[in-house]
């Protein structure tokens, strides 16, 4: 588990505050849980991740796509498809973060939200070296650099 119950509650509350009701949401790098706030209406949530079994078990998703963004950062969605895109505790595994973030900018509707949440926990054998070698503050700066370099936000 990447985060504890307190962090899960904080992320869910942040989603409630930042993502308007009845939004179309992409849970990018999704898995068995999206941390969507209970009772917060959404139009639909699509998960994109690598594990079919885990995506199928995710109760928050209305649909999902099995896709490895590290092998192919081109997201299989039309331009301006989503009101919000979230990456929850997975940014540390991106090998092409700038390309992936640029794609997020393409599929977000104007005024859409891109929320990247992360913790100090990770699978060290899977996290990229720059992430493993960064401090907590350094990781905040790193995600900011990804966004700035993607030139989509």
Spell out the long-range contacts of 2-10 with Cβ–Cβ below 8 A and sequence spacing 24 or more: 2/89, 2/119, 2/121, 2/122, 3/89, 3/119, 3/121, 7/119, 8/35
Q: Domain range spanning residue 25? A: 5-150
What are residue 28's DSSP bridge partners? 48
Domains contained in the chain, number: 1
Euclidean distance between CA atoms 4 and 17, whole angstroms: 20
Q: How far is CA 60 from CA 26, 28, 39, 45, in A?
A: 11, 13, 11, 7
Indicate the SS3 state at residue 102: helix
CATH of the domain at 54: 3.40.50.150
What are residue 114's DSSP bridge partners? 85
Indicate the SS3 state at residue 105: helix
Report yes or no on whether pTM surpasses 0.75: yes
Encode the chain (153 residues) as per-residue pLDDT tens digits.
Answer: 566 788 789 999 999 999 999 999 999 999 998 999 999 999 999 999 999 999 999 999 999 999 999 999 999 999 999 999 999 988 999 999 999 999 999 999 999 999 999 877 666 678 877 788 888 899 999 999 999 999 998
Query: Which tokens is 144 given?
Result: 């900011």
Q: How far is CA 126 from CA 122, 129, 130, in A?
A: 8, 9, 12
Count of CB atoms situated within 10 Å of the CB of 116: 21
């Amino acid at each position: 588990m990447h985060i504890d119950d307190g962090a899960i509650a904080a992320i869910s509350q942040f989603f409630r505050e930042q993502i308007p009701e009845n939004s179309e949401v992409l849970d990018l790098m999704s898995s068995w849980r999206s941390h969507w706030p209970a009772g917060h209406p959404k139009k639909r949530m699509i998960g994109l991740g690598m594990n079919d079994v885990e995506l199928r078990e995710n109760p928050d998703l209305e649909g999902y796509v099995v896709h490895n963004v590290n092998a192919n950062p081109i997201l299989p969605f039309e331009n301006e498809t989503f009101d919000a895109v979230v990456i929850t505790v997975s940014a540390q595994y991106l090998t092409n973060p700038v390309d992936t973030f640029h794609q997020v900018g393409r599929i977000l509707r104007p005024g859409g939200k891109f929320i990247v949440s992360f913790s100090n926990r990770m699978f060290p054998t899977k996290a990229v070296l720059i992430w493993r070698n960064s401090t907590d503050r350094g990781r905040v700066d790193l995600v900011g650099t990804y966004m700035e370099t993607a030139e989509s936000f």
